[in-house]
Structure 1
Amino acid sequence: MTHAEPAPGERALRRPELRPLWHTLHHRLSSGRPVTRVRLGPLDDAQREALADFLGLDRLPDSRPSIPLARVEEAVTELSGRTVRETVTELVGPLDDRAGERRRQEGERAQLWAWLDGHDTVRAQPALADWTASCRAVGLVGGSTERTRTLLADALTVLAELPAQAEPLPVFAARVLRGDSHALDDGTRLSTLVLRALATLHDAAPPESTSDRRALWARAGVADDDLSATVLVGGLRPAGEGPLARVARVCAETGQAASLTLAQLRNPGEFSLATEPPPVVHAVENPSILALAVRRFGPDCPPLVCTSGWPNSAAIHVLRLLADRGAILRYHGDFDGEGIRIAAYLLDKTPARPWRMTAADYRAAVARTPHGPQPGRLTKAPWDPELTRAMTEHGTAVVEELVGDVLLSDLAEAIR
């Protein structure tokens, strides 16, 4: 079988000396941008002669000529009846659209960062906005939006599951990350990303040493035992003969606070609350408020939970347990930067709602104690956007103890 010989015009287009022209055109046309001229070179004498013949020039072009695309189009059409694009595709290969590809990639990146900023976990805990900004500054993993989104989704899955239930890190990782017990091993990209988020929440520097990283995981409830994590409670009088109900009830009836371990909370046994009306359980940030309440009300103290600062796994567990038994949860904390972050965290992790934590409550407290310490790093309060603005305006923190009398008055009303 014989192949037909190319027509003379086709042979002219395929001259080796014209390859610089076709490759340059391929590169420029693949940019996705308008092309009116192309610059070649440096060309040797043979290439200059071939270009002059192709374009019908009466003299040799420069070694670095700038050629109008319209002139090339005219010559190609005359020789082959095809367009420049068709010819370049035939001689070099399919054209790209680099500008279009860049626009597509920019759109994918914009969608990725918008998804991250709008994620439920980030919106519920605005302090994570600094973390999302750092993620954007670091850029894509391997230049891939898909790989980056997968990594960020895993990090957000981990953050949503914290605080952990005093599980060892490999056990926690296997539970929340598709059975991969090594996903959060020290030094992995995911572990580093999650620890950066935790450091941002706690307003701390990213951990640099192994002990720093272990301590940060421990704050998030990743530990080797369920006895170290404890929570202070007062006034809890659950029904039932389970160990948790009996311990809490005995302490409440004698006007004492109880320190409950995560082990007790995870295995409460028979434990129930009154249903009509549903009990209101107040939660506070500072142990001094719980101490004041127990001292004032004694055996009549209403149900109280103290997070003792950042709520650990025991604090979150008891609040969820109480909510599951029908309790209505209310939370109050310090009016400072960390207090706002703690409140946002607790409100995201439990069904609790704010208790005297509005901008109006803050302004009333500042009017009584106008010269407090600086509030520190401030982030949005999801339950009241005006609160952070008011705190920025006054530049004053109000610790919970300074409004203890107001809180105790509310508790007194609760037991009438």
Structure 2
Amino acid sequence: MTAARFDRPDLAPLWAEARRRFEATDGPVTRVRLQALQPDERAALADLLGLAHTPDPEVTVPLRTLDAILRAATGGLDTRGVVEAIGGPITSRAGQRRQRAAERAELWRWAREHPAVTAEPALLTWLDRARTGGLAAGEVSTTRTLLKQAFEVLAALPAAGEPLAVLAARLTGDSHALDDDSRLGKLVLRALAALHDEETPTDAEGRRRLWEYSGIACDELSTTVLVAGMRPDGDSPLARGLRTWADAGEGSLITLAQLRHHPIGQLPGPVFVVENPAVVTVALRRFGASCPPLVCTAGWPSTAAVMLLRSMSATGAQLRYHGDFDGEGLRIAAHLMSRTNAQPWLLQAHDYQQAVPPAGPPVGRVDDTPWDPQLAEVVRAHGVALLEEMVVDSLLADMASGSGTSRRRKAYQEDVTHRV
């Protein structure tokens, strides 16, 4: 006798609940509890189990008893076999849940180990918030694709003054992919907010400001970078102008428009990069016309600053970066080094420990420092900010001893004489 005789509406609650229990666990199921049984369903259950009385609307059925009855009636099928014969194979939902959990765990492991995140650990805060916010609640493959797109956008920033729609079309093929109401646009903005240790903006002005920080639709003339001692090779208007101001012992501003129209020429020797304009002021007072090549980001680097540093790095210049020893300063350092190939300059744990005062401004949120993991640990432990202005004498001494100022100045003068 087959299981077909048991495929009846009055026994349907029994098979439905048995299937639910089998699918919910990989372990043994010993009993099935039925509730709210109708009179005909109670009668059918009594007939199946050979009961002398009709069971209550709520009843627990031992599967050992049911298995024995079904095997005898079907020639070997137990409860699981009858359920599958009636309704198809039983799928282990517990196994599916474990598989989905494993896939989600692998997704977040991949995201946390992505090169963009290892270079800028501040993005870990963004990923943690995205995870707890239910970003991967849907299909893991869809979330991975979204994160891949976000990483691609972050890698392309700062943009050189592109409109947001142009950037979106170039990277995704969809000019609306980074709109305020898009999943990708919201995700990238949250990442930018985490980098700047800000709350994600909720108004249009705040969102526009974050995009402008990243070079989106920024003004080519008002987006500038402060420099000093720059004597690049070449005969472009930018190279000539920079050499003129360097010879005068003055700093100068380079606009994004100038960099786009007149790429920087090759620079001999290392280029020193600092975060605070006060360092440039003191350096010019100290060195005058002999000031080594010096670039100032003035906090978070503008698009002009990043473009300048990338251009110089492409010509072989060695970029050496220093900034504030606090949470914001260390995030700026990680950001700049990840995008320009700059190397840390007097920006190690022992540099901080040697100069940190016993008291001062708090450091704020300190993320990991990939170039020196111990640095983040000691800054968190002390909790005191060491601002760049406080170590300016050490910076200038290192510039004077390691920059080859006199040799570079002599070589430049010889080159000028030769051209004349």
Q: TM-score, normalised by structure 1?
A: 0.92
1:13 aligns with 2:1: no
237, 241, 257: which is aligned to 2:235?
A: 241
Residues 59, 335 of structure 1: alpha-carbon distance in 2 compared, 3 angstrom cutoff:
same
Farther off after superposition, 330-339 or 28-37: 28-37
* Partner in structure 2 of residue 380 of structure 1: 368
Please show how residues 143-158 of structure 1 align to structure 2 within 5 Å.
143-158=138-153
- Amino acid paired to 2:35: G
Residue 10 of structure 1: how far off its partner (Å): 4.6
- Check conservation: 1:241, 1:270, Cα contact below 8 A: no
Q: Could you tell me how far apart the structure 2 residues matched to 1:382 and 1:153 are?
A: 22
Q: Could you tell me how far apart the structure 2 residues matched to 1:63 and 1:217 are?
A: 63
Q: Could you tell me how far apart the structure 2 residues matched to 1:410 and 1:168 are?
A: 41
- State the Cα deviation string for residues 181-220 of structure 1 (Å, max 9, x = none): 1111122222122112111111222212111111111111
1:101 aligns with 2:89: no
253, 265, 268: which is aligned to 2:262?
A: 268
- Check conservation: 1:123, 1:382, Cα contact below 8 A: yes
Farther off after superposition, 32-41 or 102-111: 32-41
1:184 aligns with 2:174: no
- Check conservation: 2:228, 2:292, Cα contact below 8 A: yes
- Check conservation: 1:293, 1:408, Cα contact below 8 A: yes
Residue 310 of structure 1: how far off its partner (Å): 0.4
Residue 121 of structure 1: how far off its partner (Å): 1.0
SS in 2 for 1:30: helix
31, 36, 40: which is aligned to 1:42?
A: 36
SS in 2 for 1:170: helix
Residue 136 of structure 1: how far off its partner (Å): 0.9
Q: Could you tell me how far apart the structure 2 residues matched to 1:14 and 1:147 are?
A: 40
Please show how residues 133-152 of structure 1 align to structure 2 within 5 Å.
133-140=128-135, 143-152=138-147
- State the Cα deviation string for residues 339-376 of structure 1 (Å, max 9, x = none): 1110010011111110001111011111xx43321122
1:24 aligns with 2:17: yes
1:408 aligns with 2:396: yes
SS in 1 for 2:122: helix
- Check conservation: 1:332, 1:356, Cα contact below 8 A: yes
216, 220, 232: which is aligned to 1:222?
A: 216
Task: State how many pairs are aligned.
Answer: 402
Q: Could you tell me how far apart the structure 2 residues matched to 1:230 and 1:269 are?
A: 14
- State the Cα deviation string for residues 26-69 of structure 1 (Å, max 9, x = none): 22112233211111233334333322332233443333221111
- Check conservation: 1:167, 1:225, Cα contact below 8 A: no
Query: RMSD of aligned C-alpha atoms?
Result: 1.8
Unaligned 5+ segments in structure 2 are: 407-420
- State the Cα deviation string for residues 356-402 of structure 1 (Å, max 9, x = none): 01111011111xx4332112222211111211222222221111111
- Amino acid paired to 1:317: M
SS in 1 for 2:226: strand
Residues 11, 210 of structure 1: alpha-carbon distance in 2 compared, 3 angstrom cutoff:
closer
* Partner in structure 2 of residue 344 of structure 1: 334
SS in 2 for 1:227: coil
SS in 1 for 2:235: coil
SS in 1 for 2:319: strand
- Amino acid paired to 1:173: A
Residues 15, 181 of structure 1: alpha-carbon distance in 2 compared, 3 angstrom cutoff:
closer
- Check conservation: 1:262, 1:313, Cα contact below 8 A: yes
Q: Could you tell me how far apart the structure 2 residues matched to 1:273 and 1:12 are?
A: 90
* Partner in structure 2 of residue 3 of structure 1: none
Q: Could you tell me how far apart the structure 1 residues matched to 2:283 and 2:191 are?
A: 35
* Partner in structure 2 of residue 4 of structure 1: none
1:322 aligns with 2:308: no
Farther off after superposition, 197-206 or 306-315: 197-206
- State the Cα deviation string for residues 323-345 of structure 1 (Å, max 9, x = none): 11111110000111111110010
- Check conservation: 1:32, 1:96, Cα contact below 8 A: no
285, 298, 302: which is aligned to 2:292?
A: 302
Q: Could you tell me how far apart the structure 1 residues matched to 2:323 and 2:38 are?
A: 80
SS in 2 for 1:121: helix
- Check conservation: 1:30, 1:98, Cα contact below 8 A: yes
* Partner in structure 1 of residue 85 of structure 2: 90
Residues 270, 121 of structure 1: alpha-carbon distance in 2 compared, 3 angstrom cutoff:
closer
Residue 142 of structure 1: how far off its partner (Å): 5.7
* Partner in structure 1 of residue 412 of structure 2: none
Percent same amino acid at aligned positions? 49
* Partner in structure 1 of residue 169 of structure 2: 174
Farther off after superposition, 34-43 or 105-114: 34-43
1:291 aligns with 2:281: yes
Residue 169 of structure 1: how far off its partner (Å): 1.0
Residue 302 of structure 1: how far off its partner (Å): 0.8
- Check conservation: 1:12, 1:54, Cα contact below 8 A: no
- Check conservation: 1:238, 1:245, Cα contact below 8 A: yes
Residues 308, 14 of structure 1: alpha-carbon distance in 2 compared, 3 angstrom cutoff:
closer
SS in 1 for 2:191: helix
1:363 aligns with 2:353: yes
SS in 2 for 1:126: coil
Q: Could you tell me how far apart the structure 2 residues matched to 1:167 and 1:11 are?
A: 69
Q: Could you tell me how far apart the structure 2 residues matched to 1:325 and 1:163 are?
A: 20
Residue 131 of structure 1: how far off its partner (Å): 1.1
* Partner in structure 1 of residue 418 of structure 2: none
SS in 2 for 1:339: helix
- Amino acid paired to 1:341: R
1:311 aligns with 2:305: no
Q: Could you tell me how far apart the structure 2 residues matched to 1:352 and 1:29 are?
A: 59
- Check conservation: 2:330, 2:369, Cα contact below 8 A: yes
